[in-house]
Amino acid sequence: MRMMKSQIWLPNESDYLILALVAVVTYVQTVFEAVPLMLATGPAGSGKSALGEFMANVSANGVVIGDASATTITRLMDVNRGLLVLDDIEKIHSKSSKSSQPQVDDLLQILKTSYKQRTAMRSITDVKSGEVNVLNFYGVKFMNNTQGIDEILGTRTITIHTRRAPAGVFKHIDSDPEDTMDLRQELHAWSMDFCKPLHLAYKQHSKKSRTEEITAPLRAIVDIANKAEWHDALDDLVARINVEQESTNSPESVVRESCVRLAKRGFTSVAVEQVIMEMSTLVPDNYMKEYTTDIPDVATG
């Protein structure tokens, strides 16, 4: 978390913890039945790519994929056994031709099922040799774009909102490659030592809903770290995910959740501006907007 804060500015303080926990998950993801997919979304120049590169540097087998075809990404998902960073996932759509669209659709379907071990395996027949290969797409994926993602894929995803840092608030400090390598070595050693305790802790957490499924690995790590207060940040994350999943059809739920969050922090009265600022931490800038000229219902309500 300290290393991340020196290089990336995020508007939500708790997101540093969430991202740090997800980085740890990549070292032990086979211990869990399901893992979260990650999405960084925000305006151009707000640090999405830099955040993806940072996550790749500190995670297990982190690989950043930029301008690549859907077929190449699919193959890399199978051979990679760590974190796969899909930089600017919108390019996959924008550069797809009519002939390659089936591959793009197939990639998106693979992404939707890759968060869960039971659904991440796929048998593919080689057209030339007729040989059947079983590919494994399971693992944490980190995606970034400016427009959000497919609604179904979003139910498996933890969204991190990025913004440009206010003037004078943040000073970037270049990372020391040796420090990054030392951290990776420590996490590798830690993951080998704590695989069994993590699995036992993981089994204690409910996984009835999809949100519980993707946050259970984070809760297991928090249990092992013996940081009870971190569960509060995960509770807030669950509430945020639920709002983001429900808010497509219910702008009122965003307003309601914002007021509840303010009340929990001790406010007995709030200004409209306060509610608006709280709402901005729950939903992206393009919430309920298909075009840049659209005005979302929340703003008019």
Condensed to tens digits (0 to 9), the pLDDT of residues 62-104 reads 999 877 777 788 888 888 888 999 987 766 655 555 555 677 7
Instruction: State which of 170, 204, 226 marks the end of a domain.
Output: 170
Q: What is the 3-state secondary structure (H, E, C) of 107-166?
A: HHHHHHHCCEHHHCEEEEECCCCCCEEEEECCCCEEEEECCCCCHHHHCCEEEEECCCCC
- Note the pLDDT tens digit of each residue in 28-62: 999 999 999 999 988 888 899 999 999 999 999 99
Q: Please tell me whether residues 31 and 143 are part of one structural domain.
A: yes
Q: Please tell me whether residues 89 and 128 are part of one structural domain.
A: yes
pLDDT given at position 249: 45
Burial (Cβ within 10 Å: 0-12, 13-18, ≥19) of residue 116: middle
Q: Please tell me whether residues 117 and 151 are part of one structural domain.
A: yes
Provide mean pLDDT across the span 257-274. Answer: 85
Q: Please tell me whether residues 210 and 286 are part of one structural domain.
A: yes
Q: Please tell me whether residues 200 and 282 are part of one structural domain.
A: yes
- Note the pLDDT tens digit of each residue in 272-295: 988 888 887 766 555 555 555 555
Q: Is the pLDDT of residue 19 over 90?
A: yes
Q: Is residue 186 part of a domain?
A: no
Q: Please tell me whether residues 122 and 209 are part of one structural domain.
A: no
Instruction: State which of 170, 199, 215 marks the end of a domain.
Output: 170
Higher pLDDT, 123 or 121: 121
pLDDT given at position 284: 58
Instruction: State which of 170, 203, 236 marks the end of a domain.
Output: 170
Domain count of the fold of the chain: 2
Q: Is residue 16 part of a domain?
A: yes
Give the domain CATH number at 94: 3.40.50.300
- Note the pLDDT tens digit of each residue in 208-244: 888 999 999 999 999 999 998 999 999 998 888 877 7
**Percent of the chain scoring above 90 in pLDDT:** 42
pLDDT given at position 255: 82
Q: Please tell me whether residues 6 and 99 are part of one structural domain.
A: yes
What is the C-alpha separation between 33 and 216, in angstroms, rounded? Answer: 10
Q: Please tell me whether residues 203 and 238 are part of one structural domain.
A: yes
- Which residues constitute the domain of residue 204? 191-300
What is the C-alpha separation between 164 and 169, in angstroms, rounded? Answer: 10
DSSP code of residue 175: P
Q: Please tell me whether residues 207 and 153 are part of one structural domain.
A: no
Q: Is the pLDDT of residue 253 over 60?
A: yes
pLDDT given at position 146: 62
Q: Is residue 177 part of a domain?
A: no
Q: Is residue 126 part of a domain?
A: yes
With a CB cutoff of 8 Å and minimum separation 6, the contacts of 34 are 115, 116, 117, 207, 213, 214, 216, 217
- Note the pLDDT tens digit of each residue in 129-138: 888 888 899 9
Q: Is residue 84 part of a domain?
A: yes
Q: Is residue 184 part of a domain?
A: no
pLDDT given at position 70: 78
Q: Please tell me whether residues 111 and 46 are part of one structural domain.
A: yes
Q: Is residue 181 part of a domain?
A: no
Q: Is residue 139 part of a domain?
A: yes
Q: Please tell me whether residues 35 and 66 are part of one structural domain.
A: yes
As beta bridge partners, residue 166 has: none
pLDDT given at position 77: 87
DSSP code of residue 98: T
- The token pair that represents 1 in the structure block: 């978390």
Provide mean pLDDT across the span 7-26. Answer: 95
Q: Please tell me whether residues 162 and 195 are part of one structural domain.
A: no
